[in-house]
Amino acid sequence: FEYALMKCTHRIVFPHEPKVDIPKHQLLLHSNADDVSIRNLDSMAIARLVRVPGIVIGASVMSSKATELHIQCQNCGHTKAIPILGGFTGVTLPRQCARSRIPKDPTPRCPLDPYFVVHEKSHFVDQQIIKLQEAPDQVPVGELPRHVLISADRYLTNRVVPGSRCTVMGIFSIYQNKASKNSSNGGAVAIRTPYLRAVGIQSDIDQAAKGNATFSEEEEQEFFELSRRSDIYNVMAACIAPSIYGHRDIKKSILCLLLGGSKKILPDGMKLRGDINVLLLGDPGTAKSQLLKFVEKAAPISIYTSGKGSSAAGLTASVQRDQSTREFYLEGGAMVLADGGVVCIDEFDKMRAEDRVAIHEAMEQQTISIAKAGITTILNARTSVLAAANPIFGRYDDMKTPGENIDFQTTILSRFDMIFI
């Protein structure tokens, strides 16, 4: 594609100058074709153009990918340029000097492996490895979410961060993974690892962290008629978990949580969040978990987790090591992956105290600061938190004060805008 694009540019811009050097082009493709889920990528899709949606859970640091290697013989000084394809494809240096293979050459033969790379004359481009995972709403029941590696180069680098929901247009390719010491198929040369070579990345969420859903004219007219009703607040609140009787105030607060507020920036530069955090504290059997499950299904972007099985790294972000390059990269947790949506945390009181401290910054400043393994960055966590918990003794004791029934510190309680007991 890119070679043909350069030829067309040459013919259009410089039709009468055949020896003009034209810079290399990068072709970015976008399509409205049907999406292909990550679990449906099989051997029949190899070398084909596919459109894969998902959520970014990891992005490596920027690296340099060689597009043309300039090698030189150590013995005779013979030079040669080797072109390299994009993606994860590599190159093997010739073991024999090209001048030694010339017939009737009086010069002595060069030894084996004479070439070395001249980096100053080689050509490099920026490359980034992205880890794309299936969105939680696309995973079948009882299955684990699957992921695929994305190779992005040049203008496609640094386009997405962990937590971004995007659709990748790319060529489904394969490469031979490096064999590790503990690998069981280290000598299996016929086994290849699939990956996606990106030719276009389209973000599904804009800079305001809101969905880009479109509505028909009939739906817009219906919304306009609903906005004229004086009891619109009560009507919409009654649509929250209609099978659960009562809890009108809680349903109104959940409605405010789903709709969100207005983010404000004061004249001095201070930012006030617009997302609302709600804590439901009550006895067992009061439909707290059912309300959380309803919010998970109703919100366009939502993640449901339990406090007992959640850690600080799982909620915020963790630092992982790439097996091929041995470099560190970030993997976003639940708060990062639900950027622009809702995080539902059940059994909030079962979490460890040190794990609850990790989400203090995410609940108020709506960012997550990471300073680990040489990586210092700030990730967006513009989410609303809906948490459910039980009192300290399992059931609420009317003979004690509310402070004695709640086993939470003031620092975490101050970050909830509404608390229902």
3-state helix/strand/coil string of 78-104: CEEEEECCCCCCCCCCCCCCCHHHCCC
| 136-148 residue pLDDT tens | 777 887 788 888 8
What amino acid is encoded at 58 in this protein?
G
Q: In which residue are the tokens 């709403």 written?
A: 137
Question: What is the DSSP code string of 106-141?
Answer: -SPPPPSS-EEE-TTTSEEEEEEEEEEE--GGGSPT
Fold of 240-420: Rossmann fold (3.40.50)
210: which DSSP letter?
-
Beta strands 317-321 and 328-332, pairing class: antiparallel
Query: In the CATH scheme, what architecture does the domain 65-124 have?
Result: Single Sheet (2.20)
CATH of 26-64+128-203, one of 2.60.40.1250, 2.30.29.30, 3.90.1150.10, 2.40.50.140: 2.40.50.140
Please say whether the beta carbons of 237 and 253 come within 8 A: no
Q: Cα separation of 94 and 184, whole Å?
A: 29
Segment 274-294 shows an average pLDDT of 88
What amino acid is encoded at 45 in this protein?
A
Region of 394 on the Ramachandran plot (φ > 0 left; ψ -120 to 50 alpha; else beta): left
Please say whether the beta carbons of 134 and 145 come within 8 A: yes
Segment 71-97 shows an average pLDDT of 83
- Residue 200: what are its φ and ψ, rounded to 5°? -175, 135
- Residue 191: what are its φ and ψ, rounded to 5°? -95, 130
User: 123 versus 185: which is more confidently predicted?
Assistant: 123
Which part of the chain has CATH 2.20.28?
65-124
Specify the pTM: 0.70
Which part of the chain has CATH 2.40.50.140?
26-64+128-203
Contacting residues for 254 by C-beta, under 8 A, at least 6 apart: 240, 278, 291, 295, 386
pLDDT > 50? residue 374: yes
pLDDT > 50? residue 210: no
Predicted pLDDT of residue 208: 40
Stretch (H or E) spanning 196 = strand 193-203
384 token code pair: 């609303």
Q: At what angle do helices 288-298 and 248-259 cross, to 10 degrees?
A: 30
Predicted pLDDT of residue 360: 86
Which part of the chain has CATH 3.40.50.300?
240-420
Segment 222-233 shows an average pLDDT of 86
Report the SS3 class of residue 36: coil
